[in-house]
Structure 1
Amino acid sequence: MTIVEKLTAGPLPRWFWPLLLGLNFLLHAPFFRLPPAGIHVWRQCNTMAVARNFYDEGMNILEPRVDRRNTTNGITGMQFPSYEWLVAGSYHLLGFHESLPRLINWLIYMAGVLAFYQLVRRVSGADWLGAVGAWCLAWSPEMYYHGINALPDVLALTASVAGLLWFVRWRESRHSGLLLLSLLAVTLGGLTKLQFLVVGVPIAVFVVRDLLQGRLSWPALAGLAAYALVAVGVPLAWYAYAINLIKASGLADFGLEIRSATDVATALAIIKRNLVSDWPELLLGYGGLGLLLVGLWRLLRHAPTHHAWFLPGVAWAGALLAYYLIELHQMQAHTYYMLPLLPVLLLLGVWGAAWLRRFPRAHGLFLALLLVQPGWAFIRIGWNRWLKGGPAIAPELFNPATRAALEAVTPPAALCLVGPDDSGCEYFYFLHKKGFGFDRPEQLLEKRSAGQPYVAECVTRGARYLYSDDSTTLRDPRLQPYLAREVTRVGDFQVWELRAAPAQP
C-alpha cells in the first residue's frame, strides 16, 4: 500500500488539522505585527482607517468615515463595513494594536478553510478530498497573503462558503436554524463584497430542482422566497445607500462602480496575464493549478452529468465567468477580485485529485503537487512581498519611532494638507491625520475654480499644517507665501505650519 493509499483509505489522520493550522500560523507569525505593508498597501490603509475612525469617532456602522475628508465629517459610502466594525470592536476590547486586524483576518481565513473542508466533504463524500480542498485553499498564495491583511474580501469569501455549506446541510435535515444561518452568512458575504452573492446561483439551482421534483412544501417554499428577498435585497439596499453617501459627501475613496475592459485587445491581454501568471503564481499556486488541469481534463472527457452537483456547479461557474468578464478591468492588477472563483476552481482541482488517487503511478505527482503549495506560498509572498520586497511605504512612516514623532508634532484635531500621495489614504493613515490630500506635487499650486492655488483654497477652508516628503515642491518660491514656519523635519518629511498668503499690494 502506497503512502497516498494509507492516507486516503480511512478517517482523516488526527495530525492533519494541527499540521495545517500550525504550519500556516507559523509561516505567518513573523508578519502579524507589521503595519499595512506590501502590495495593495493603499487598500489596507483605507480599511484600517475606517476601522480606526469607528474606534475614535463612534461605532455607528451606518457611518463609515475616511481620513481624506476635506472639511466634511468624513462619512462616505463603501462596501458594508462589517470587517472594519469588527476590528474597531477589538480595539475597544484590547486597545489599538495593528496586529489585531491581521489576527482577526487569519481567524476568519481559517474558518473559511474549515467551511470549505466541510463543503467538499459533502460534495465528494470523502473526508480526504475535503482535506485536499482545505489544504489548497489554505495555501493559495493570494489567500496566504491577504489572510492576514486588512482585506474584507476574506470575510466575504468565508461567509459565502459557510452560507452555501449551511444551505446544503439544511437540504439534508430541513432544520430551520441551518437555513437561518445560511441566510445570515450569504447576506453578510454579499454586503461585505457584492460579487460574493454569486454563491446564490447554485443555491437557486438546487431550489428549482427540488421544486420540480416535489421535494419542497409550501412553508419551505415561502421560507426560501423570503431567503432570496433578504439575501439579495439587503445588500442591494446597502449599496444604494452607500452610493447616496458618496454623492452627498463628495468623498469617492471607495469605487462602487462596474469596471470592464476598455477594448477587446486590452481584455485579451488581461485574460492572458491572468491565466499565464496570476492563476499559477498567486490565485492557485502551481500545485493547485496542476490539480485543476487534471480536473478540467477529466471534465472534458468524462463530465459527471449525473452527479447532484453537476448542474449547480455549471451554473455557478457560468455566473462567475459573467462576473469575471464584467469586472475584467479589475482583474488586471487586483488578483483578490478573483477570490470568488476559488471555490469552483478548487472543487475541480479536488476532482482531479480523486482521479490521480486511482493510479499508483500518479501518487508521487499527487503528493508533489500538495507539498509544493506551502513552500511556494511562502516564497512568492512571505519572502517576495514581506521580507525582500519591503513595506512599499516611506521609511519614515513605517518606522514606529519616526512615525510617532511625525504624528505628535501637530494637534490631533488639526486639519492637515498631506501628500504627494496618489492613494489618498496611505500618508493619512500612518500619520493619523485628517484633512486635505494632494496626489501630485504640482497640484499644490494648480489654479482652482476661484482662481487661487489649491494650497490657498485648503488654507481658506481650515488646513493648518502641511506634511510632505517632496523637498523640491517645498522649495518652490511660489509656495513660500503659504509657509509660516517649519515645525519639524524627520528624514525626508517636513511639517510646516500654513498661513494665508499676504494680500498683493
Structure 2
Amino acid sequence: MKINKITDTSYIFWLQKCLFPLFLLVFGAISIWSDIALQTPYGQHQWRQCDAFSMALNYYHEEAVFFEPRMHFQHGNDAGSGFAVGEFTGTYWLNAQIWSVTGLKPYLMRWTHMVFWLLGSLALFALGRGWFGAWKSAFVTMFVSASPLIAFYAGSYLVNVAALGSVFVSWWLAWQLLQTERVKTEWRWILELLLFLFLSLAVLFRPTMALGWLPIAIWALRRGNLMHWAVRFALPLTLGVGWVLWAKSVNDVNGSVYFCTTIRPLWGAEHPEIIWRAFRENLLPEWYHRYVLIVLGFSAVLLGFNRLYSTNSGAQVQKRVHANFELKSSVLLLALGLTVYFLLWFENLDVHDYYLIEFQLLMPITLWWCIQKLESIRSVRRDIYRGLWTLLLMALTFQLLETHLRTRMKYMSPTGWLSEVVLTQRDRDVWSWFHWDQKNRFSNLKQVQTAMRAYGIRREDRIISVPDPSPNITLSLLDQKGFTNLYDENMTGDERIEFYVQKGASYLVCNSMEWFEKRSESPWLQHPIIELEGMMVFDLLNSEAPLPDHARK
C-alpha cells in the first residue's frame, strides 16, 4: 500500500527520526501535561473520573481482590455495600498494586492511561509510515491526537482513550502478522500474544471498540484468510461480552443502577430534539472545531470525485484499485457501524462527550484514504494537490491551537485575547464558573479529611456529603464511604437525613453555606464538630434529632 518514497538523504532521514519525539512535545503542549500530570480528578466529567478513582482507592485500602470492585457511594439494596461495576477495572486494580509499593499517588492513574494512548499513537505512526512515509504519517497521527477529546481524556482517570490506543496497537500488530502470514519466525508467537492482549483490552475497556476490528477484518478478507482471523477475534470478544454480563449480574445482585451496561437508543428518548441540540452545541465541539470538520468534509467530497478531473490512464487507475478498496471499505463500514452506535446510545449523547471517542476510529482511516487520493492526482492536478494540502495543514494548525485553549480552559479560568477570539463566550463563562465553584466549595477537602481523621472518623464510617449530585466526587476526594444527593429524590430535608442514618450514616459533611443556611433549623444540624472555611461536619448520632434504636451508639 506504499504510495510514495521520500528521498533518502541523511538530513531528511534525521528529521524523520525526530518526528515522533516532536509529536510527543506538541501533544504534551496541547494537553497541558506539565500542569496536570500530578492532579487528582478534575475538569470535564470529574464525576466519572472520580468513579474510577474511587474504585482504585477501595482496591488499595481494602486490599480487595480484583473481582470485588467497590465505590465509596453506598447506594444499593438494604443498607448498601458500594459493590458496583461498569467498565473493566484492570487499570484501577493495577494502580492499587503500584500504590502498595509507592504509597498513595493518585496521579499515577493519569500516567497509566497516557501510556496506552502514546503506545497507540506510536503504532498509528508506524503503520502510516510504512504506507505513506513519515511526514504524512506524522500529519495523520497529529490530526487524530489534536481532537480535544483525546487531549483531555488521554491523561485522565478514564479508560476510554486507553481503549482507542489499544485498537491502534492492534492494527499495527495485525498488519505485521498479515505481512508475514506465511513466514515462520521465532518471534511470531510474541506478536500473536500481544495482539490477543490488546484486542482483549480494547473491548474490555470499551466493548464498542470492537468496531475498530473492522479494518483488520477487511485486510484479512482481501488476503483470503478471514476465517483464521475470526478465531483471533473470538476469545477477546468473548472476554468483552463476558465482562459486561458479569458487571450486569453484580449490579443486579447489589441493587446498583448507576452504571450503564445496556443500550439507550434513539427510539427510547422522550425528548430526542433536546438531546440532538445538546449533541450539536455541546458535544461536537469537543470532537473537532466545526471549521476543521468542514475542511475535512470538503476535502473528502472533492477527492471522492477525482475521476472527474483525473487524466490517469486506465492501467494507472487499476494499479491503485487493490489498496483503495481496503481503505474505502474500511471508511464505509466504520461509518455504518458508528451510525448504528450513535442510534443505540443516542440518549447518552447529551452530556457524555467521551462517547464520541469511538468516532476517532474513523478519523485515521479517512485521512489515509484522503492522502491516497491526493497522491493519485499529484502529477496531473498539482494545483488541487497543493491547495488541499494547504487547507488540511491550516486546519490542523488551527485545531492544535483550539485544543490547547479548550483543554487549558477545563483546568483553569480562560484568560487572554486568544481565548476570547477562539473560544465562545458561553464556554468561557461555564468553565469560569466551574473553577470558581470548585475553589469555593472543594478547595479545603484535604484539610477537612485531616480534621475528620483527627476527630476519630474512620474512612469506613458513613457520611452524607452535600451538596453533591454525583456519586463519588466529594466521597472519593475525602476518601469516605457514604451517600450524596444522587437518587432517592422522593425524600428531602430531615426525612432524607433520617433515611440515610437508618442506612448507617453517622456524619454529615456540608460544603456549602448556602445549603446550610436554608436548613439551619434542622435538629440534625445544630452542633457542628468541625468548621473549616465554609465546610462543616455534623455528628448525626449526637444531634438533637431522635434516632431509631438501631442507630444509637
Return the TM-score normalized by structure 2: 0.78
CA distances 1:261-286 after superposition (whole Å, capped 9, x unpaired): 3579955665576567644x321346
List aligned pairs for 1:345-356, cutoff 5 A.
345-353=363-371
Q: Could you say which residue in structure 1 is the equivalent of 2:317? A: none
Greater displacement, 289-298 / 470-479: 470-479
1:419–1:440: 8 Å Cα contact kept in structure 2? no
Q: Could you say which residue in structure 2 is the equivalent of 1:297? A: 301
Per-residue deviation, 1:436: 2.5
**Match for 2:546: what amino acid?**
P
Per-residue deviation, 1:244: 0.8
Q: Could you say which residue in structure 1 is the equivalent of 2:231? A: 226
Counterpart CA distance in 2 for 1:67 and 1:146 is 23
Change (3 A) 1:177 1:346: same
Change (3 A) 1:187 1:310: same
Counterpart CA distance in 1 for 2:485 and 2:392 is 52
Counterpart CA distance in 2 for 1:301 and 1:266 is 39
2:6–2:133: 8 Å Cα contact kept in structure 1? no
Gaps of 5+ in 2: 182-187, 308-319, 379-384, 415-430, 549-553
Change (3 A) 1:383 1:435: closer
2:44–2:410: 8 Å Cα contact kept in structure 1? no
1:105 is the counterpart of 2:113? yes
Q: Could you say which residue in structure 1 is the equivalent of 2:246? A: 241
**Match for 1:21: what amino acid?**
L
Change (3 A) 1:416 1:456: same
Change (3 A) 1:482 1:371: closer
3-state SS of paired residue (1:135) = helix
3-state SS of paired residue (1:13) = helix
1:502 is the counterpart of 2:546? yes
CA distances 1:96-128 after superposition (whole Å, capped 9, x unpaired): 223222222222222221122123335x44332
Per-residue deviation, 1:355: 5.4
1:334 is the counterpart of 2:339? no
Change (3 A) 1:362 1:316: closer
Q: Could you say which residue in structure 1 is the equivalent of 2:165? A: 158
| Aligned mate of 1:66, from 67, 71, 74 | 71
Change (3 A) 1:376 1:229: same
Q: Could you say which residue in structure 2 is the equivalent of 1:118? A: 126
| Aligned mate of 2:22, from 19, 23, 33 | 19
2:471–2:483: 8 Å Cα contact kept in structure 1? no
Q: Could you say which residue in structure 1 is the equivalent of 2:417? A: none
1:128 is the counterpart of 2:135? yes
Change (3 A) 1:332 1:456: closer
Q: Could you say which residue in structure 2 is the equivalent of 1:469? A: 511
3-state SS of paired residue (1:247) = helix
Per-residue deviation, 1:242: 0.5
Q: Could you say which residue in structure 1 is the equivalent of 2:50? A: 45
Counterpart CA distance in 1 for 2:352 and 2:6 is 40
Per-residue deviation, 1:401: 5.1
2:113–2:161: 8 Å Cα contact kept in structure 1? yes
Per-residue deviation, 1:469: 2.9
1:415 is the counterpart of 2:462? yes
Counterpart CA distance in 2 for 1:110 and 1:66 is 29
2:441–2:512: 8 Å Cα contact kept in structure 1? no
Per-residue deviation, 1:395: 3.3
C-alpha RMSD over aligned residues:
3.4
| Aligned mate of 2:91, from 70, 83, 86 | 83
1:292–1:345: 8 Å Cα contact kept in structure 2? no
CA distances 1:354-384 after superposition (whole Å, capped 9, x unpaired): 6567434555434323322322211122135
Counterpart CA distance in 1 for 2:518 and 2:440 is 24
Greater displacement, 88-97 / 265-274: 265-274
Change (3 A) 1:194 1:441: closer
Greater displacement, 22-31 / 399-408: 399-408
Change (3 A) 1:318 1:89: same
Q: Could you say which residue in structure 2 is the equivalent of 1:450? A: none
1:320 is the counterpart of 2:338? yes
3-state SS of paired residue (1:488) = strand
1:32–1:102: 8 Å Cα contact kept in structure 2? yes
Change (3 A) 1:361 1:6: farther
Counterpart CA distance in 2 for 1:76 and 1:442 is 20
Counterpart CA distance in 1 for 2:373 and 2:297 is 12
**Match for 2:485: what amino acid?**
F
Q: Could you say which residue in structure 1 is the equivalent of 2:421? A: none
Change (3 A) 1:69 1:364: same
List aligned pairs for 1:69-468, cutoff 5 A.
69-70=74-75, 71-122=79-130, 124-174=131-181, 175-211=188-224, 215=225, 221=227, 224-261=229-266, 267=272, 270=275, 274=279, 278-279=283-284, 281-285=285-289, 289=293, 292-298=296-302, 300-302=304-306, 306=322, 307=324, 308-353=326-371, 358=378, 359-383=385-409, 385-388=411-414, 389=431, 390-391=434-435, 393=438, 395-399=440-444, 402-405=447-450, 407-408=452-453, 409=455, 410-439=457-486, 445=492, 453-468=495-510
Counterpart CA distance in 2 for 1:352 and 1:426 is 43
**Match for 1:436: what amino acid?**
F
Counterpart CA distance in 1 for 2:469 and 2:139 is 42
Change (3 A) 1:265 1:254: closer
CA distances 1:448-480 after superposition (whole Å, capped 9, x unpaired): xxxxx2322322332111112344654567973
Counterpart CA distance in 1 for 2:55 and 2:337 is 31
Per-residue deviation, 1:66: 0.4
Change (3 A) 1:99 1:66: same
2:493–2:519: 8 Å Cα contact kept in structure 1? no
1:120–1:130: 8 Å Cα contact kept in structure 2? yes
1:407–1:433: 8 Å Cα contact kept in structure 2? no
3-state SS of paired residue (2:87) = coil
Aligned residues: 485
Counterpart CA distance in 2 for 1:193 and 1:54 is 21
Per-residue deviation, 1:169: 1.6
Per-residue deviation, 1:23: 3.0
Sequence identity, in percent? 20
1:83–1:155: 8 Å Cα contact kept in structure 2? no
3-state SS of paired residue (2:528) = strand
1:290–1:369: 8 Å Cα contact kept in structure 2? no
Return the TM-score normalized by structure 1: 0.85
**Match for 2:527: what amino acid?**
R
